[in-house]
Chains A and B, each alone.
Chain A
Amino acid sequence: MSITLAQGLGLAIFAVLAGLDSWLEVFYIFRPIISCTIAGLILGDLRLGVIAGGLTELAFAGLTPAGGTQPPNPAVCGIMTVVIAHTTNVAPATAIGLSLPFAMLMQYILLMFYSIFSVFMPVMDKAAKEADTKKFSSVPFLIMGIVSIAFFVVIFLSSYAAQAPMAALVKAMPAWLIHGFELAGGALPAVGFAMLLKVLLRVEYVPYLLLGFVVACFINFSNVLPAAVIGIVFAMIEFFRDKKNKKLQEQIDEMKEAGISGGGEEDGI
């Protein structure tokens, strides 16, 4: 199915909202589960949007900006997954792989912005020196304006204006390539998880990681809640043990001090 001008504009306007949200990280409507759903709503296929949202959210599960690197933009990936699935009738799982180039493009634009916007900081410094609050606030507004325009243009072009060449591209693709994208959709979360592990994992935490893994392997349940509850159990056990250890440590320190001042050696045990 093709996309009308009104739908293209609607998607682009939503892209501005979701894009700004991904810039500010406030309402999290930039996450695929929301951006796919809204894109589906705009295209009149809510069910497709919801399903694609679930699948894309899973694919993005481990990809967080917290590790310091910017992952492919989830807002753009979400919107384009639904657009591609809607216009070319490929399965949502395949569409995720096909939408990744667009999400990478947005990511590169944002990386460029992060560097370029450094030049605005001296302007804010000068305004701060003069206590000129109006000039001071013009910089954040300008920056958010530039970000909005970028998201509008990227989504409008790739969903509406360049829709036909895109569809042709997908049709021209051989089956092995599409299957390859599908595989990538299943394998890419591993990159995200590896990034999380790089930040979080220390040897003492490996048991918990394996525990969660084994639990999810053998408990046939549709979500990770059982593993989360087991995680809470261990977190609580550790929490109370830490507290107790801290108290014991303090007592030991006190006794040591008392022992040193008392000078008695026999109560050292």
Chain B
Amino acid sequence: MASSTQDTDKKLTKHDITMLGLRSAFLQSAFSYERMQAGGWAWSQVPTWKKIFGSDKKALSEAMQDNMEFINTSPPLVSILMGLLTSLEEKRVDRQTIRGLKNGLFGPMAGIGDAIYWFTLMPIVGGISASFASKGNILGPIIFFIVYIGIFLCRIPFAHLGYNLGVKAIDVIQDNSEIIARVATIMGLTVIGALISSYVSLSLKVKIGTVSLQKDFLDKVFPNILPLAFTFFLYWLLKKKVSPIVLIGVVFVLCILCSFLGIM
């Protein structure tokens, strides 16, 4: 086809890619259960496509329609995927290839993104800044804010990264995706273990004779054993397909009941 002539005409500047990275913030602007992020995903890229396709309304329409398909990926990482696919759009790579890459990559990226951002960074940054804040230190919220502004700004280099690496980036991610996910999970779980002991607080008031069940027994066996056991109990219930909303309700009612009966 005409692909050899298209190869040389570079329509996007560095500025365009930077703007793409910033606009990726609108990924979830049209979120719905039916197609998740599709509407926002397509909308954030429309200005880029307009520039690439110019007056070619048919190509623009095809790109818009293709990208209205279901997508659900990691918001902080999405600009990598956008940059990557944009480099392919600019070279007018076959529509099916772009579509296939999009569908192949958004899922694994969602997994990696969740592991890094929600399960690793959020507990660490949130935990550290909250431990400052709960003592009344304004540094807590400030640290949190600065870190997350940094994470937002990373969308710009990420967009360039995706764009520049083009097809090569896929090899890198696919080669290492298993190791990346594994290592992030290990780190995340170590931190979650620590958080269970410091954030979940349960202690019994019950006394048997003069022996306090909590102070004289449980604390001597293993401190914080109750929070760990309770967390695993809830985990077991979730595995049994009990809905989290039901669990929240049950925990609420249980706590109030225990308070009323003087157990806790």
Q: Hey, which bits of chain A sit against chain B, CB under 8 A?
A: 23-29, 31, 33-34, 37, 46-47, 50-51, 53-55, 57-62, 64, 66-67, 69, 71-72, 100, 114-118, 120-121, 124-125, 127-131, 133, 136-137, 139-140, 143-144, 176-177, 179-184, 186-191, 193-201, 205, 208-217, 222-228, 230-232, 234-236, 238-239, 242-243, 246
> Across the interface, do B230 and A190 meet the contact criterion of CB distance under 8 Å?
yes
> Across the interface, do B259 and A180 meet the contact criterion of CB distance under 8 Å?
yes
| Residue B209 interfacial (CB < 8 Å) | no
> Across the interface, do A193 and B145 meet the contact criterion of CB distance under 8 Å?
no
> Across the interface, do B130 and A136 meet the contact criterion of CB distance under 8 Å?
no
> Contacts of A129 on B, CB cut-off 8 Å?
61, 65
> Across the interface, do A211 and B129 meet the contact criterion of CB distance under 8 Å?
no
Least distance between B46 CB and chain A CB atoms (Å): 5
What are 14 A-to-B residue pairs whose CB atoms are below 8 Å? A33-B129, A58-B126, A61-B122, A66-B114, A140-B29, A177-B260, A196-B192, A197-B192, A212-B189, A212-B194, A223-B131, A224-B191, A224-B195, A228-B194
> Across the interface, do B149 and A50 meet the contact criterion of CB distance under 8 Å?
no
* A191 to B237 alpha-carbon distance, docked (Å): 10
> Across the interface, do A212 and B190 meet the contact criterion of CB distance under 8 Å?
yes
With A140-B43, A194-B238: A125-B68 Cβ-Cβ less than 8 Å = yes
- Cβ-neighbour of B61 out of A128, A195, A205 (below 8 A): A128
> Across the interface, do A231 and B130 meet the contact criterion of CB distance under 8 Å?
no
Q: Tell me the chain B residues, 103-149 only, with Cβ under 8 Å from chain A.
A: 114-115, 118-119, 122-124, 126-138, 140-141, 144-145, 148-149
With A140-B26, A194-B235: A213-B194 Cβ-Cβ less than 8 Å = yes
Least distance between A203 CB and chain B CB atoms (Å): 12
> Across the interface, do A24 and B25 meet the contact criterion of CB distance under 8 Å?
yes
* A47 to B40 alpha-carbon distance, docked (Å): 38
* A95 to B244 alpha-carbon distance, docked (Å): 22
> Contacts of A234 on B, CB cut-off 8 Å?
186-187, 190
> Across the interface, do A235 and B30 meet the contact criterion of CB distance under 8 Å?
no
| Residue B83 interfacial (CB < 8 Å) | no
> Across the interface, do B193 and A216 meet the contact criterion of CB distance under 8 Å?
yes
> Contacts of A61 on B, CB cut-off 8 Å?
122-123, 126-127, 130, 195, 199
> Across the interface, do A217 and B43 meet the contact criterion of CB distance under 8 Å?
no
> Across the interface, do B128 and A224 meet the contact criterion of CB distance under 8 Å?
yes
| Residue B9 interfacial (CB < 8 Å) | no
Interface bin, chain B: 35 or more
SS class, residues of chain A in contact with chain B: helix
> Across the interface, do A176 and B260 meet the contact criterion of CB distance under 8 Å?
yes
Q: Which 10 pairs across A and B sit closest by C-beta, in order of nearness?
A: A212-B193, A54-B133, A54-B134, A231-B190, A180-B256, A227-B194, A216-B194, A128-B64, A180-B259, A194-B234
> Across the interface, do B131 and A23 meet the contact criterion of CB distance under 8 Å?
no
| Residue B11 interfacial (CB < 8 Å) | no
- Cβ-neighbour of B179 out of A53, A121, A243 (below 8 A): A243
> Contacts of A51 on B, CB cut-off 8 Å?
133-136
| Residue B196 interfacial (CB < 8 Å) | yes
With A125-B65, A136-B46, A190-B251: A196-B140 Cβ-Cβ less than 8 Å = no
Least distance between B25 CB and chain A CB atoms (Å): 5
* A25 to B25 alpha-carbon distance, docked (Å): 8
Q: Which residue of A lies closest to B264 (CB)?
A: A183
The 0/1 profile, CB within 8 Å of A marked 1, for residues 173-191 of chain B is 0000001001111111111
- Cβ-neighbour of B255 out of A57, A116, A184, A227 (below 8 A): A184
